Every structure is written in structure tokens, then in C-alpha cells.
Amino acid sequence: MRIHLVGVDYLTAPLTALASLAPADELALTVMGREPGIAGAALLSTCNRYELIVDATDAVDPDRLLGLAKAGIRELAPDVDPRALAGLEVRSDDTAICNLFEVGAGLCSAVVGDKQVAGQLRRAYELASDRGQCTARLHRLFHDCLRVSRTVASSTSLGAVGRSAAGVGLDLAMGRGGLRGARVLLMGTGSFARVVVAELTDRRVGEIECWSASGRAEEFAAHHPVTPVPSDGLDRALQSADLVITCSGNGVVLSGAELSAARPELARNADRQLSVIDLSLGGDVDEAAAELPGVHLVRLDDVSSRTGQLQSAVIEEAQRVVTQGVAAHLSKERARAADPLVTALRQHAKVLVDDELARVRENESPEVVQAVERSLRHAIGVMMHTPTVRFSQLAEEGKLEDCRTALDVLFGVEVEA
């Protein structure tokens, strides 16, 4: 059996493309129904990623799995954005497992250290478990992944990385004291938007308006202290804003033409500045906007240059925890590969004991038989301890075939690979 991960995220497709995958929320059941070799599957679907975690037989190769996933998505979401399908990638075995651990820890999030992803992963696991889609292997994988995620959260400051990046961006744009009572326009409703709102609230800004190119401002406002801006209300919001923050990840959402139309003075007068912070990985603000005399633009690169060294140390610390967790998980799984050999050896020993007891019963009293049985079973238990431990150790070291050969040569017990 092999673990595979078929997925696409904000790095391989725009967020608008990822949003088109939302109707395909039954992909795990779909692929399991079409391929008997898939023993279990769970789906992690968020605004930033869409990943199918699969436990399948060796006969199900990665290309076959990718084809099944694409076909299932097209059926469940006929209007899927082609860019989402083009971004789908397959990871297998140790690479897939390592990726899942990193995702659960928040290392792969759009906002590094995002704590929400651990809860999303847990809910994905619980749903698959409740539906009977989890194999024993998947149960162990998710349990260990979530345990390591908790360790990262409790033993490192990774969760503060995204918040610190937002804070540095605000400092560069406005200074520590320049935000009190300010009117802020937030363009975007994703992971970074949550972090930005928290930082703005702490700094006691006046009002936070939220506009979304994908029309999610109302939904975002229902859970955050912001005022939603209608889709056609961007001009008005730009006119009254003291600070604009973009973090949509959908490509350019704020152009120089839009800024000039809403606030003509920005093209003429460098003394009347509007601060704009672009926290999107791909860039939400075009060059024409950056070149306007009245615009002071802070990009994510500017923020990273200030926070990079500190963030790198924290991320490296979290990565060490994850790497150790992955190594421990893989070690346990390799040791479990010896279980069929241990079972076969125990069964062989049981047959020998049963045969000897049958011979004793023909010639001895029940009391003698009982005493012999106790002695034999105790002796076998003692004898089995060392090979049981050694089989597990050798399996962890990748020497399972040596164990299989030894079992065959010494005892005549054959166990299929």
C-alpha cells in the first residue's frame, strides 16, 4: 500500500481558480467508487488548497490517480476553472507524508503559521473517518500529523509569523502611531485578511471597510469587525480611505487607472499621499499605481526584507519539529511492516507446540499435559522475544527482505512480499 497526495494550492493556481473546486467536495467518495485499489481517501478543501489524501495499492500508480481525480472533479464541478486542473500535482510515499505534516503545522499556508489549517485538517479527517473512508494506515497518519501540529503550535512561535509580517507592513506604511482613527480599505478576504484585521483592531483604527473581487465581503464581515463594500462601491471606498491594504491573491485588483479615477490628486500631487500595502504573494497592485506621485506603496518584498531573518529562525525551528515528527512516523510504519513476519513465526511456533501437546496427551495424565503446556508456551514466549524485536528493528532500517529470507531459511516459513 502507498500514500499519495493529489493537490493544488495557492502557489500553483489563483485563488479564484481554487474557488471553482468547491462543488467537488465529494471527490474522495468518487475516486474510491471508481478504483477498487483505493482503500481509503480524505479530502482537505479550503480557500487556499484542495488536496486528496489516498491510501492505495501498488497497482494504482500516480498517473492513474491524477487522471481519476481530474475526471472526478470535472463531473462534480462542471464549471471548474482549467487553471485549477492544470495546477494539480501528485506526491507519493514519504514526499506526500512530509507535505501533509508541513500543511498541518502551517508551514505551507499563505500566512505562515496559520492555525486554522490544523482545524480544517482535523475536520477533513473526522469526516472521512465517520464515513468509513479511513484505513488503519490513514488513521495513524492523521493522528501523528495532528499531534505534530499541536507540538509546533505549543513549542514554537510560528503562529506569530504572519501577524508580525502584517505589523511590519503597517509600520512601513504609516508608522506605529499613524493608524489611530484611520479609515482603512481592505481588499481581500483570505487568510492574510484575517491576520490584517486582527492587527488593525489592536492598533485602534477608525473603520475597516472590506471589498472583495470575488464578492465575499458580506460573508467575511459576518465574522470580522469590518464593513462590507458592495462590488460596485470600490470608487467610493478608495475616495475616503487613509490606507489601502490588498491581500486577495487573485492577481491585479488595484490598478493605477482605478486609483487615478477615484482620486485624481494622486496623479498630480506627491504631497497628498495615499499609503497602499500589497501583501499578496503574486502582487495585487500594478506598476502604474506604484508610479503615481501621490501613492506610497509597500510591497510584500519590503516587509520580507525586514522580517526575513527573524521569520527564518522561527520557520527553521518549526521545520525541525516537523522533520522529527515525520521521521518518527515513518520509522513506526517501517517497523509495522514486520508484523506479518512476526505473525507467521508465532503461528509456526504454535503449530509445533500444538503438535507436541497432542503427542503428550496420548501418553500422560491431564495434570502432566497442563504442566508441559505451561512450560512450552513460556519457553516459546521467551524465544520469540528476540526475533520479534529484531524483525522490527531491521524493518525500521529498511532490511525487511533480510528478515523474510531468514524466516524462510531457518524455519521454512514463507511470507509473500
- Which residues belong to the annotated binding site for NADP(+)? 188-193
Cα dist from 28 to 45, 74, 278, whole Å:
11, 14, 36
| C-alpha R_g of the chain | 29
Q: Which run of H or of E encompasses 185?
A: strand 183-187
- How many helices (H) and strands (E) the chain has is answered by 17, 10
Q: C-alpha cell of 380?
A: 516459546
Catalytic positions are 47
**Is 81 exposed, middle or buried (CB count within 10 Å of its CB: 0-12, 13-18, 19+)?**
middle
Q: C-alpha cell of 64?
A: 492513474
Beta strands in 193-264 (DSSP E): 207-211, 227-228, 243-246
CA-to-CA distance for 148 and 142, rounded, in angstroms? 10
Q: Which of 291, 314, 292, 311 is nearest to 300 (CA)?
A: 311
Q: C-alpha cell of 136?
A: 488503519
**Is 138 exposed, middle or buried (CB count within 10 Å of its CB: 0-12, 13-18, 19+)?**
buried
CA-to-CA distance for 15 and 280, rounded, in angstroms? 11
Q: Which residues sit in the known binding site for substrate?
A: 46-49, 109, 114-116, 120
CA-to-CA distance for 199 and 102, rounded, in angstroms? 25
